[in-house]
Structure 1
Amino acid sequence: MTTEVKICGINSAEAMQSTLDAGADYVGLVFFERSPRNVDLAMARTLADMARDRLQVIALVVDADDALLEAIAREVAPHLIQLHGKETPKRANDVRRQFGIPVMKAVSVAGPDDVRGALAYDGFVDRLLFDAKPRADEPGALPGGNGVAFDWEALAAVERDANDLLADCILAGGLTPENVAEAVRLTGVRAVDVSSGVESSPGVKDAERIRRFISAAKTANQTP
């Protein structure tokens, strides 16, 4: 099975074109002002229009209110909304029902119990993304995109095939062109997500790193 790839934090036409050319399956647009990858609605609409016929557009928000979500739904029309804050299962389900857009919940992971705990969202979201839990001694850390990996054994240790939500999860956190193949082989995930791991500086995507990341992820399970 070929691994699906999401390139998150695209904030320029150049980065979007590089992502399209390299063969990504998903692209993430970040609506969070503290992030160096933040985009406004006008830029997001332009980027989504570039990508719409070739891959799925995902809107990433952090504890967003209904006004922002309504604007994103109207102006960007994403295929999926990624909730990357402290949204509860009820809030996630409310977003899905109110805006008629599938929802993915990002879950912070430090160990296997966090993976199992994500089942609280079963029936309330359409997909899960597992990211590294921000360090407690870094109170200013972003909810994601920090370039920090969690122990992949935490994901590998949990039997996921019996649950569709877990089986279809996306792995994120500290992935790079150099380690993504190992992560895919160890965890058996069907999809991976990267942001800072394909950047030359915070918020600036590197076309060659995008190409190498996607190539490594998609060939990870090929027999030598």
Structure 2
Amino acid sequence: MRLPAKICGLSTPEAVEAAVRGGAGFLGFNFFPPSPRCVTPEAAARLAVPARAAGVRICAITVDAGDELVDRIAAILDPDFIQLHGAEPPARGAEVAARTGAGLIRALPVGGPEDLAAAAPWTELADHLLLDARPPRGAALTGGLGVAFDWTLTQGFRPPRPWFLAGGLDPWNIAEALEVSGAPMADVSSGVERGPGLKDPSLISAFLDAVRRARPQA
């Protein structure tokens, strides 16, 4: 059975191979140009081939993307999920779902308990929520910054569908993060990199091994 873990920001065949071999349940491809992890829909489609064959779900990470990019991603990559990681309102989420036929993952920034209230409009619309650390003021990126939030904030957080914990996770803290937060799923990007956007296959393997030990029932 595939692990409840998503490796995000993949851009090389070696990283995809490590994620698939390690048992990741989800792979994320980034389509936000300022990110060092950004790839084209064509490149993502090529990289996704072995993952699809292994039953891994494919996610497209977007940030306030317009219709043209959304349509290209849908036509070329045909992802299982579109992840909204910007300021998109629920109405835009419904539009994206209708245009693409893909499921939705809604990323929400968390800095304090008040931020969990922002999940309410999305709990029925999105297939999964993803709680990420709120970016520092002035940051150019909305995620993948290696910043964590207080994991105790999500204790007792029980949306209708399983949700991802993200932000500052790595092979050494993921077990504690899952235990403290109560998160049923995990998402990692910079925590398995040897440099900005450079995924390290050995770190991917170590992260997934740690998730497996923390979630033996998976």
Q: Provide TM-score, normalisation by structure 2.
A: 0.94
Return the alpha-carbon distance in structure 1 between the equivalents of residues 133 and 31 of structure 2: 20
Q: Distance in 1 between matches of 2:183 and 2:53?
A: 25
Secondary structure class of the residue paired with 1:44? helix
CA contact (8 A) 2:123 2:160 kept: no
Give the aligned CA root-mean-square deviation in angstroms: 1.7
Q: Give the secondary-structure state (helix, strand or coil) at the position aligned to 1:47.
A: helix
SS of residue paired to 2:35: coil
Instruction: State the match for 1:41 in structure 2.
Output: 41
- Residue of structure 2 in register with 1:121 after alignment: 122
The answer on 1:15 being equivalent to 2:7 is no
- SS at the partner of 1:142? coil
Higher alpha-carbon deviation: 113-122 or 88-97 = 113-122
1:27 equivalenced with 2:27 (yes/no):
yes
Match 2:202 to one of 204, 208, 214: 208
**Residue type at the aligned position of 1:186:** V
Q: Is the Cα contact below 8 Å between 1:132 and 1:148 reproduced in 2? A: yes
Partner residue of 1:62? 63
The residue aligned with 2:112 is 111
Letter in 2 for 1:164: P
Partner deviation per Cα, 1:133-184 (whole Å, 9 max, x = no partner): 0112xx133100000000001111x441xx313xx11000000100000011
Q: How far does residue 221 in structure 1 lie from its aligned partner after superposition?
A: 4.4
CA distance in 2, matches of 1:53, 1:2: 13
Residues 72-221 of structure 1 aligned to structure 2 (within 5 Å): 72-136=73-137, 139-156=138-155, 158-160=156-158, 163-165=159-161, 168-221=162-215
Cα deviation 1:62-86 (Å, max 9, x = unaligned): 0000110111000001010000000
Distance 2:106 2:176 in 1: 24
Q: What SS class does the counterpart of residue 178 from structure 2 fall into?
A: helix
Tell me if structure 2 keeps the 8 A contact 1:2–1:190: no
The verdict on how the C-alpha distance between 1:197 and 1:13 changes in structure 2, with shifts beyond 3 A counting, is: same
| Structure 1, 117-126 or 197-206: larger mean CA deviation | 117-126
- Structure 1 unmatched runs, 5+: none
1:112 Cα deviation after fit: 2.0
Distance 1:43 1:159 in 2: 36
Q: Which residue of 2 aligns with 1:5?
A: 5
- TM-score of the two chains, using structure 1 as the length reference: 0.92
**Aligned AA (1:220):** A
| Structure 2: unaligned runs, 5 residues or longer | none
User: What is aligned with 2:50?
Assistant: 50
